[in-house]
Chains A and B, each alone.
Chain A
Amino acid sequence: MTSESPPIALQAERIVKRYPGTTALDCVDFTVHAGKVNVLIGENGAGKSTLMKILAGVEAPSEGRLVLNGTPITLANPREARAHGIGIIFQELSLFPNLTVSENVFIARELVTGLGTIQTGRQEAVTRALMQRLEQSIEPDTLVEDLRIGQQQLVEIARALAEEVSILIMDEPTSALSDAEAGVLLRIVRELTAQGVAIVYISHKLDECLQIGDHFTVLRDGRLVAEAPASEVSLAWIVEHMSGRTSDTLFRRRTRPAGEVVLEAEGITLPRAHGDGFLVEDVSLSVRAGEIVGIYGLMGAGRTELLECLFGMQLRSAGSVRLGGVELSSRPIEERLRLGLALVPEDRQQLGLVQTFSVAENITLAHLRALRKGIALSAGREREEVDRLIAQLGIKVSDPAQSITTLSGGNQQKVVLAKNLLTRPKVLMLDEPTRGIDVGARSEIFALMNDLAGEGLGVLFVSSELKEVVAMADRAIVMARGRITGEFAGDRLTEQHLAAASVLSVNSVTS
C-alpha cells in the first residue's frame, strides 16, 4: 500500500447524511485516488448514491467535510462542484428528452457568441467528435427522446466528457448499455485515468468492477465496512463484505408444507418501449399457498417489470396470469386487488404512499368500499381495522391521524404492507421490501412475511440482496436480462449458486 499509494484527489471525511426518518450515511470516510478507478460497492440502500450526490454537490452533508487536493471545500450545488473539476454521470438519466443531443451536452454552459447567441455549429461539431470517441453514429441534432435508452446513457457520458474534469463520478454507467457499448465505456475509463483523471465507479456488475477497478471501497447500511487495493480483492472478498456476517441470524426460514398453486404465470413478455428487445421475456412461474418465492437478479434484470406485468400495470405486456384458477390478464388493477393479488411496490414514495394522507388514510385506501356503513365511511370500522393492523405489524405511531411523512422508512413500509394486507390477499408480491429501511425494521418485515406465509399466503418477493433471498425464500428464481436463468430450492439455495447464476448468465450472453 505504502509503496504505490497514489496521490489523493478528493477526501470525504466523516460524512453523515440524514433524511427524515433515516440516516443514509453514518460517518463515512472515502478517498478518491487520482488517476485511478475507485470502485464503490454496496447493496441497494447502502448509501452509495447518497455519497456520490454529496461529492457532486447535489446534496449537502449533514456533518463532515470534503477536502480537495488538501483544501477543504463546500459545494452548494452541482455547478460549484463542476467549477472544482468534479463531474458526475447520474444513475437516473438527467437528460432533457425535448432537446437535441448537442443541446443536452452543452446544457447550462452553452457556447455563445459575443452577442450571447448559441453557437449551434460549434456545439454540434464538438458533440460529433465526442460521439466518434464513443464509437456512436448518433447525429448531434437528434432529439434525445428519439434515442434508445442505452444511447441516452451514452449521451449522458458524452456530457461529462465534454467538461474538463479531474474527478468523474459514474453511477451505474453501464446499466442500460449493451456489452459492446459497455466495452467502449471501459476503454474510455482507461483513457481518462491515463490522463490523470480520478474515476469513482459504482456498479452492480461485480465482474465489471473487478475488471476495471484499482481501489475498492465497500459500504453497508450507510457505513464503510472495507477498503482495499485491487490486488487484494476478489469476488469472494466483495460478497463477504457486502453481505456481512452477522446478518444471517437476523431472520430464519421455517420450512412449512406448501399448499396448492395459487398464482400461475405463463409466458409473461414485455417489449421495451422503443421496440428494442424485451424487458421481460417469456417468464413462467408459480407460487403455492404458504410458499415464499424470492426473485434475485442484478439491476435491470426485469424483476420489477415482471411484478408490474403480474399486477396489470404494464398495458403492453403479454402472457397469462391466473390467481386461484381465475384468469387475470385482461383485468384492471382494482379487480386483481379484489380477487386477492397485492403488490408492495419498490418505490414507496412514488407508488406506495399518498404523502398528503395520514397513516390511517393510507392504510385504508385500498379497502374503503368494504368499510362503509350505507354510503358513508364508518369511522368506527376504519379505526378498528387501522388499530388492528398497527398492532399486528408493530407500526410505531403515536396517533394514526398523524401525517405519513413523519414516519421512518421502515414504518412507512409497514404502512404500505398494512394497506395491502387489509385487502386480504391470497398472494402478496413485494418488490425490494427492505429498500432504504434500517436493520431492525428489516428483520421485522421478514418476520411478518414468514408469519403471513404461515397463514397460507403465497409470497413472491424481489430482492437484490443475496442474503435476503437465501434466508427468506423457500424457492428462489434468478433473473437476468428479462429471462429466468436459474431456479434453486433446498440445499441448492445458496448465495454462491444465486450469484453465480446471475453473474455467469451475463457472461454467457457476452461470450
Chain B
Amino acid sequence: MSAMQNASSIQRSPLSGVPIQLLLLRLRAYIALIVLAAVFAALSPAFLTTGNLIILTKQVAINAILGIGMTFVILSGGIDLSMGSIAGLCGMVAGWLINEGLILAPFGVSIFFNVWMVGLLTLVVGLLVGLVNGALVTRLSVAPFIATLGTLYVARGAALLISDGATFPNLVGRESLGNTGFPELGAGTMLGLPYPIWIMVLFAIVGAFVARKTPFGRHVYAVGGNEKAAALSGVRVERVKWTTYMISGVCAAMVGLIIASQLVAAHPATGETFELNAIAVVVLGGTSLMGGRGTISGTLIGAFVIGVLVNGMVLLGVSEFWQIVIKGAVIVLAVVVDQQQQRMQLRRLSLSSRQMSSRPPSRDPAG
C-alpha cells in the first residue's frame, strides 16, 4: 500500500519524491560549473578578477553561439559538421567585402558596403550554406552526417579560393569608402561588456524563446522525438529540418564575423574543428544526440563548463597537451553520466508502472 502511494506521488509532481542521486544527476551541469569555478578560484587568485572573467566569457561566446545553432539541428535529430567551415568562409567573405569590395567584373567596378551591410551579407552567406545543407538532407535524402561533411570541405575550399589561400589583413576599412568600424564588433563594449558577450546573450534569449515558446520550436522537438508521429500530426518535417540548418548556418556566420573582427583579419583556416567544440558543448549541456531532448540553457552551461575548464587550466599552467586530454575525458564523462541518468529514470518508470498495473482494474479511481 505504501508502495502504491509512493508511485502516485511520483506522478503528481516530476520533482517531488525524486531520489537525491537523480536530482543531482539532472543538475549535474550546473553543479560541475560551480565546482569547477570554486576549485579554480581557490587555486588561482587571478581567476575571479573582472578582467579574467570577461576574457573567459568572450571565449565562451564563440562556442555558445555555435552551440545554440547546433542545438537546433541536434534537437531535430540531425547534425551540422560544417559549422566551423561556414565560420571560416563567412570571415573570408567579410574580409573580402571590406578590403576588395564586391567586384562587378562586367562593369569593371567594385562596390564597397558599409560595415552593417557587410555584416548582413555575411550572415546571408551563412544562411545560404545552411539552405544547401537543408536541401541535401531533406530534398535529396542525404544523411545529415554525410551532407554536412561534404559542405565542411566545400565551404573550407571556397574560403581558400576567395583569396587563393591568403589572409585579408588589416580589416579597418577606409574613410573614403565609408566602410570603417569593423574591428568595433570584436573590441567594442557596451556597459563594460564586449559586444560578443551581448551577441551571445541575444542569441541565447532568441534561441531559447524560439525553442520553448513558438510552434516552430515545439515542432523541432517533435521531429527529433518521433519524426513519423510529427508528420502525422501535420508538422512539416522537411521544412522544420531545413530551417534548423539555416539557423546553424547563421550562427556560424556570426562567429566568423566576430573572429575576423577580433583579429582585424580574415584567415581561411579560421574555425577548423569548431564544429566539434559546438557538439561538445551541446552534449555537455544534456542534449541527446538522438534528438528530441535538450535545451538552449543547457548548451550555454556546457559552453561555460568548457570555457571555465580551459581558462582555469591555462591560469594554473597545465600543459596545453594535457588540456586537450582533459577536455576529451570530460566530454566522454558527461555522456556516460547522461546514460546513467536515463537508465535510472527508466528503472523508476518501469517500477512505478509495475506498481500501478498490479492494481486490480476495479479499483482504478476514475474508472
Report A's interface with B, CB cutoff 8 A.
Answer: 18-23, 62, 311, 313, 332-334, 337-338, 343, 345, 350-357, 361, 364-366, 368-369, 371-372, 375-377, 394, 396-399, 401-403, 405-406, 408, 419, 423, 438-440
What are 6 A-to-B residue pairs whose CB atoms are below 8 Å?
A21-B356, A350-B226, A398-B12, A402-B11, A403-B14, A406-B349
Which residues from B are CB-within-8-Å of A397?
11
Q: Please give, as numbers and ranges, the residues of chain A lying within 8 Å of B234 by CB-CB distance.
A: 333-334, 337-338, 366, 423
Complex Cα spacing A372 to B217, Å? 13
CB-based contact A350/B229 at 8 Å: yes
Interface residues of B (CB under 8 A from A): 8, 11-14, 209, 213-215, 218-219, 221-222, 224-226, 228-236, 292-293, 349-350, 352-354, 356-358, 361, 364-367
Closest CB in chain B relative to A314 CB, distance in Å: 13
Do A356 and B235 have beta carbons less than 8 Å apart?
A: no
Do A401 and B14 form a contact, CB below 8 Å, given A352-B229, A356-B221, A356-B225?
Answer: yes
- A365 and B349 within 8 A (CB): no
Secondary structure dominating the interface of A: mixed
Chain A nearest Cβ from B201, distance in angstroms: 19
A164 CB to nearest B CB, Å: 37
Closest-CB distance, B213 to chain A (whole angstroms):
4
| A184 CA to B156 CA, complexed, in Å | 61
Top 4 A-B residue pairs of the complex, sorted by shortest distance between their CB atoms: A356-B225, A334-B234, A20-B353, A368-B215
Closest partner residue, chain A, to B215 (CB atom)? A368
Contact of A368 among B8, B219, B232, B361 (CB under 8 A): B219
A382 to nearest B CB, angstroms?
Answer: 10
Docked Cα-Cα span, A371 to B215, in Å, equals 9
Given contact pairs A334-B235, A352-B232, A353-B229, A18 touches B366 in the complex (Cβ within 8 A): no
| Contact A365 B352, beta carbon cutoff 8 Å | no
Q: Are B356 and A408 in contact (CB under 8 A)?
A: yes
Among B11, B230, B234, B356: residue with most chain A CB under 10 A = B234
Contact indicator B357/A345 (Cβ below 8 Å): no
Contact B14 A402 (CB under 8 A): yes
Nearest chain B CB to A349 CB, angstrom units: 8
Known: A19-B353, A23-B357. 6 other contacts (CB 8 A): A18-B354, A351-B229, A355-B226, A356-B293, A368-B218, A377-B213
Smallest Cβ-Cβ distance to A443: which chain B residue: B367
B236 touches A334 (CB 8 A): yes
A311 to B230, CA, bound (A): 14
Closest chain A residue to B10 by CB distance?
A406
A479 vs chain B, min Cβ distance (A): 22
- Known interface pairs A396-B365, A406-B11, A440-B364; A365-B356 also in contact (CB < 8 Å): no
Q: Which residue of B lies closest to A353 (CB)?
A: B229
A354 to B232, CA, bound (A): 11
Nearest A residue to B218 by beta-carbon distance? A368
CB of A357 within 8 A of CB of B214, answer no
Q: Whole-angstrom distance between the alpha carbons of A361 and B231 in the complex?
A: 15
Instruction: Determine the distance from Cα of A208 to Cα of B58 in the docked complex, in whole angstroms.
Output: 74
Given A356-B224, A396-B365, A402-B14, CB of A18 within 8 Å of CB of B357: yes
Nearest-CB distance from A306 to chain B (Å)? 16
**Within the assembled complex, what's the spacing in Å between the Cα atoms of A365 and B237?**
13
Contact check, B13 vs A399: say whether CB atoms are below 8 A apart.
Answer: yes
Q: A333-B234, A419-B233 are in contact. Are A377 and B215 (CB under 8 A)?
A: yes
**B78–chain A nearest beta-carbon distance, Å:** 16
Residues in B with CB closer than 8 Å to A361 are 218, 221-222
Given A23-B357, A366-B234: A354 and B14 interface contact (C-beta under 8 Å): no
| With known contacts A369-B215, A375-B214, A333–B361 Cβ distance under 8 A | no
Question: In whole angstroms, what is the CA distance A368 to B236 when docked?
Answer: 12
Q: A354-B229, A372-B215, A398-B12 are in contact. Are A365 and B364 (CB under 8 A)?
A: no
Complex-state Cα separation, A20 to B209, whole angstroms: 34
Q: A18-B354, A406-B352 are in contact. Are A356 and B292 (CB under 8 A)?
A: yes
Closest residue of chain B to A361 (Cβ to Cβ) is: B218
A244 to chain B, nearest CB (A): 16
Give the distance in Å from the alpha carbon of A397 to the alpha carbon of B13 in the complex: 11
**A21 to B213, alpha carbons, bound, how many Å?**
31
* A398:B356 contact, CB within 8 angstroms: no
- Whether B357 lies near A408 (C-beta < 8 A) is yes
CB of A259 to closest CB in B, whole Å: 26
Taking CB atoms, residues of chain B closer than 8 Å to A419 are: 233
